[in-house]
Amino acid sequence: MAQSPRPLQLITRLVDGRICAYDLAADARGVLSPAMVFRPSPEDDVVDHAVAAGLQHAYYTTLNAAVCVTADGAEVWRSQFEPQSNQQHGHRPSCVLSRDERVVWVYRPDAMAGRNRPDQWVALDAEAGAVIAQADLQTVGHGGQQLRHPASDQVLLDVGEGQDGSVIYRASLTRGRMDLICYPWSDRCLIDLAPDGHHFMTVHHEQADIAIHTYPDGEVTFSLSVDAFGHDPDEIYVEWSGGYLNPDTVIVTLTGETEDEQEWFRHYRVDVRSGQVRTEFDARSDNPYDIQPLGDGTWLTTDSSGHPNRWTDS
C-alpha cells in the first residue's frame, strides 16, 4: 500500500570538493548554510551525491565506484564498477537514496564507459554496499537522472543517449528482485515528479513541447507546443529544465536567439489542472538550468558561493 508523501527534507550540493547537505524542513530562505558537510576520499572525483536524513552518511558516485562515507571522511564501503574504465568523458554514474533510505539506487553507464556490457541499474544495500538487485538496460547512455517517488518505493530513471534520445524507466524492489518497467518512448526527457506523485513532467527530446503524464502509467493529460506560449516553433525551443513549483503549477522554460545571435530564455507558469499558460516567471537566475523548483512554492538557484539560494513565490 502506498505511503503518504513525506516532504522533501534534504538536498545536496558539491561545494569546493565537499558534499554539503541542506535541511529544507528548516524553512530557511536566502542563501542556505549546510546542516552537515562530508569529505569524500581524497582520491575521488565526485560525480553525483546523496545524504541520509540522519546526517550520518553521504553516498556518492565516481566514474568507477559508488562510495559511502561518514562526515569525517571515513569510508564505510565502496562498490567498484568493474572493470575500471579509462574513459574520462562521456559517462556520469548517478545515485539516489530510496525513500526509506535502505537502498542506494545507482545508474551505471557501462556501455559508454567501455566495459563491453549494457548499461546497468543497480540497487545497493545502503548499510553494507552489497548488491541487492541488478538489471541490464537496453541503452547506451551518457548519464541518468533518478527521481524517487514521494509516496512509494518506486524510482524513475531517465537515461540520456545524446542525439539518440532519452529512455525513461521505473523500478521497485520486491523480495530482492528488481521490477523494471520501460516507458514506450525514446523521445521524451524526464523533468520532474509532482509533489504528490500523481503526475510527472517531460520535455520532447527535440524540444518541441512539454507534456504532463499520469503516474505510473504515463498517459498524457495534456501537452503544450511552443506556439501555445506565443512564440514561433521554428525559432524557439523548450529547454530541458523547470518542474513543479507547487502541486498545481509547473515552470516551463523557452529559449531562442535575438537577431544579433544572443541567446535568451523565459520561464512561464503553466496550470497543471487546466493546461493553461499563465504568466511569465522570474526565476532570479541568468542560467536557464539553474532553477530547481521544490514543489512547495519555493525554488533553488545557485549563489556565487556555490551554496543554494532559496526563493519563495509568496
Does residue 89 surpass a pLDDT of 60? Answer: yes
Mean pLDDT of 34-57: 96
Q: What are phi and psi of 305, to 5 degrees?
A: -75, -15
- Cβ-contact 125, 102 below 8 angstroms: yes
Does residue 279 surpass a pLDDT of 90? Answer: yes
Q: What is the pLDDT of residue 90?
A: 80
d(CA 224, CA 211): 6
Residue 136, C-beta contacts closer than 8 angstroms, at least 6 positions apart: 117, 118, 119, 120
Give 154-188 pLDDT, tens digit per residue: 999 999 999 999 999 999 999 999 999 999 999 99
Q: What is the pLDDT of residue 309?
A: 97
Give 135-154 pLDDT, tens digit per residue: 999 999 999 999 999 999 99
Does residue 3 surpass a pLDDT of 50? Answer: no
Estimate to the nearest angstrom the gap between the alpha carbon of 76 and the chain centroid.
25
**227, containing H or E segment:** none
Say what the alpha-carbon torsion angle 32, 38, 44, 50 is, to the nearest 10 degrees.
-70
Does residue 1 surpass a pLDDT of 50? Answer: no
- Cβ-contact 197, 215 below 8 angstroms: yes
Mean pLDDT of 237-243: 97
Give 9-36 pLDDT, tens digit per residue: 799 999 999 999 999 988 789 999 999 9
Residue 234, C-beta contacts closer than 8 angstroms, at least 6 positions apart: none
Q: What is the pLDDT of residue 169?
A: 98
Sequence spans of domains, the chain: 39-186, 198-314
| Alpha-carbon dihedral sign for residues 46, 51, 57, 61 | negative
The letter for the amino acid at 7 is P
CB count in 10 Å sphere of residue 238: 25
In total, the chain counts a number of residues equal to 314
The residue assigned the cell 495534456 is 222
Does residue 7 surpass a pLDDT of 70? Answer: no
The residue assigned the cell 531517465 is 158
Average model confidence (pLDDT) across the chain: 94
Name the percent of the chain lying above pLDDT 90: 88
Does residue 257 surpass a pLDDT of 90? Answer: no
Q: What is the pLDDT of residue 5?
A: 43
Q: What is the pLDDT of residue 258?
A: 81
Q: What is the pLDDT of residue 261?
A: 83
d(CA 181, CA 166): 15
Does residue 57 surpass a pLDDT of 50? Answer: yes
Q: What are phi and psi of 39, to 5 degrees?
A: -105, 110
Domain formed by 39-186, architecture: 7 Propeller (2.130)
Name the percent of the chain lying above pLDDT 70: 97
CA dist 15 → 37, 169, 226, 298 (Å)? 9, 30, 36, 22
Residue 29, C-beta contacts closer than 8 angstroms, at least 6 positions apart: 298, 310, 311, 312
Q: Poorest-confidence range of 83-97, 192-206, 265-279?
A: 83-97
Q: How big is the chain by its Cα radius of gyration, in Å?
A: 19
| Alpha-carbon dihedral sign for residues 28, 31, 37, 40 | positive
Residue 217, C-beta contacts closer than 8 angstroms, at least 6 positions apart: none
Topology of domain 198-314 in CATH is Lipocalin (2.40.128)
Say yes or no: do domains 39-186 and 198-314 share a fold. no
